[in-house]
């Protein structure tokens, strides 16, 4: 009886010791994660809190306190606990606004992000550059950048693109879940929507080059593979996927195939891993370890230098167990360390990769500073609809309107008239 009792006691002690050792190891990984996050800013590529402010409060910030808000994945205490160094806040409006009031609604989302920073200056610092991110991190504030999610927000206008850049927008997701008059969206790859432009139209290609000139990040998170390849072929600057995961791990058309991951590496861009369950496991449930699998896969295929965090908090209906809100991200960092990621690899994914990409985009912008901006509008036939006026475009119904002639014909006509005048004078 005593011998058996001793055996049982020793067995229990062994189990307790093993559990304590595991807890100690987990504590070590978490402590190491927090140390790395104190040295390098965690930069998240996509958060839809501004859209929640729209749908829950109609952007009336006076009716909400971000210190106590509990109906979102994101509030100020959660941000602090999650060590969020910088955030691209999404200025998103639904595709239903296309051809209607998308520009107005997007400007209102840009406005609410500015006001959020003004109302909580101790928590947020508005940022538009890589240097701003580092300065906010030094001040222990969350650098707050803007990304516009969906090209329909531009109403096919380069002037609107430039205006939004001046207001602080630093990336444009080319499409959301609808085709624009100049680009196909990711649903084309599912077969549920037809291709309208064979990827990008000529105007869509104009827009990519103008984004390069401005210094605006090109975000490929919601586009079909054909558009991914077209942009990777022509962009002078690195590209981003602000909130997409690995297609090989979960074959959802919103995720990035391996061949594109390799091209992103060649372009020195970044893929910021999305936490939405449907993009992580292609099902309604997922856990923190499943998300880490995407990090591991991207690192294996294309290296740690193209990876980032793009949680998509407050923009999705389900998130993994263990990543319930923005406060939980340090646990994911600890999991990467547990899996053998080095300090340098983790720092790259946390923020150094995005900082490198943004600095390169800024460098290319500066190198193109002497280049004339593109002010050739999209052809009217490509945007004509009942909600759009045609001011500035040629009026084919006006027989006396010279603009209906091509530029070459106009020049030839002027040259001919000049020659006749000179002959008459002689």
Residue 287 has phi, psi (to 5 degrees) of: -135, 175
The rounded distance, in Å, linking the Cα atoms of 67 and 379 is: 48
Residue 92 is encoded by which pair of tokens? 């998103």
Residue 134 has phi, psi (to 5 degrees) of: -65, -35
* Total number of residues shown for the chain: 426
Q: Which of 132, 149, 296, 335 is catalytic?
A: 149
Active site residue 196: no
Active site residue 73: no
How is residue 154 annotated by DSSP? G
- 3-class DSSP string for 367-404: HCCCCCCCCCCCCHHHCCCCCCCCCCCCCCCCCCCHHH
Active site residue 114: no
Active site residue 176: yes
* CB of 89 closer than 8 Å to CB of 114: no
Residue listed under structure tokens 């791990």: 249
Q: Which of 176, 252, 294, 297 is catalytic?
A: 176
How far is CA 132 from its chain centroid? 18
Which residues of 157-259 form beta strands (DSSP E)? 169-173, 217-219, 240-241
Q: Which of 222, 252, 294, 297 is catalytic?
A: 222
Active site residue 331: no
Give the closest residue to 136 by CA, choosing from 87, 96, 171: 87
Active site residue 252: no
Q: Which of 312, 314, 325, 335 is catalytic?
A: 312
The rounded distance, in Å, linking the Cα atoms of 297 and 281 is: 13
Q: Which of 243, 252, 294, 297 is catalytic?
A: 243
Beta strand 142-149 with 169-173 is parallel
The set of residues, in sequence order, having a beta carbon less than 8 Å from that of 145 and lying 6+ positions away, is 86, 87, 88, 89, 127, 128, 133, 168, 170
Active site residue 46: yes
* Axis-axis angle for helices 130-138, 353-367 (nearest 10): 140
Sign of the alpha-carbon dihedral angle for 285, 324, 129, 207: positive
Q: Which of 44, 48, 210, 314 is catalytic?
A: 48
Q: Give the active site residues.
A: 46, 48, 149, 176, 222, 243, 312
């Amino acid at each position: 009886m005593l011998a058996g009792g001793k055996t049982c006691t020793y067995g229990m002690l062994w189990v307790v010791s093993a559990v304590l050792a595991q807890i100690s190891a987990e504590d070590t990984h978490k402590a190491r994660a927090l140390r790395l996050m104190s040295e390098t800013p965690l930069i998240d590529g996509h958060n839809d809190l501004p859209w929640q402010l729209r749908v829950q409060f109609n952007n009336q910030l006076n009716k909400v306190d971000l210190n106590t808000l509990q109906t979102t994945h994101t509030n100020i205490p959660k941000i602090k606990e999650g060590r969020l160094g910088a955030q691209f806040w999404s200025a998103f409006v639904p595709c239903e606004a296309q051809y209607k009031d998308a520009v107005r609604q997007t400007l209102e989302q840009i406005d609410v992000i500015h006001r959020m920073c003004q109302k909580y200056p101790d928590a947020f610092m508005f940022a538009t550059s890589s240097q701003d991110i580092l300065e906010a991190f030094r001040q222990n504030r969350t650098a707050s950048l803007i990304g516009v999610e969906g090209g329909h927000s531009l109403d096919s206008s380069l002037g609107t693109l430039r205006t939004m850049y001046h207001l602080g927008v630093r990336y444009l997701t080319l499409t959301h879940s609808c085709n624009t008059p100049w680009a196909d969206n990711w649903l084309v790859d599912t077969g549920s929507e037809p291709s309208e432009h064979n990827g990008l139209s000529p105007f869509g290609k104009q827009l990519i080059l103008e984004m390069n000139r401005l210094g605006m990040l090109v975000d490929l998170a919601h586009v079909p593979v054909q558009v991914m390849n077209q942009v990777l072929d022509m962009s002078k600057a690195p590209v981003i996927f602000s909130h997409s995961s690995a297609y090989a791990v979960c074959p959802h058309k919103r995720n990035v195939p391996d061949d594109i991951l390799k091209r992103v590496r060649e372009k020195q861009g970044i893929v910021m891993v999305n936490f939405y369950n449907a993009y992580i496991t292609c099902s309604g449930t997922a856990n923190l370890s499943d998300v880490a699998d995407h990090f591991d896969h991207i690192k294996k295929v294309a290296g740690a230098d193209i990876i980032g965090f793009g949680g998509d908090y407050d923009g999705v209906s389900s998130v993994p167990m263990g990543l319930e809100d923005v406060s939980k991200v340090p646990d994911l960092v600890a999991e990467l360390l547990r899996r053998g990621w080095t300090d340098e690899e983790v720092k790259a994914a946390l923020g150094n990769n995005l900082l490198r990409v943004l600095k390169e985009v800024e460098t290319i912008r500066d190198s193109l500073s002497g280049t004339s901006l593109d002010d050739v509008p999209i052809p009217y036939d490509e945007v004509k609809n009942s909600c759009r006026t045609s001011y500035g475009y040629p009026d084919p119904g006006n027989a006396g309107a010279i603009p209906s002639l091509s530029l070459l014909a106009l020049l030839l006509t002027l040259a001919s008239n000049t020659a006749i005048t000179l002959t008459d004078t002689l």
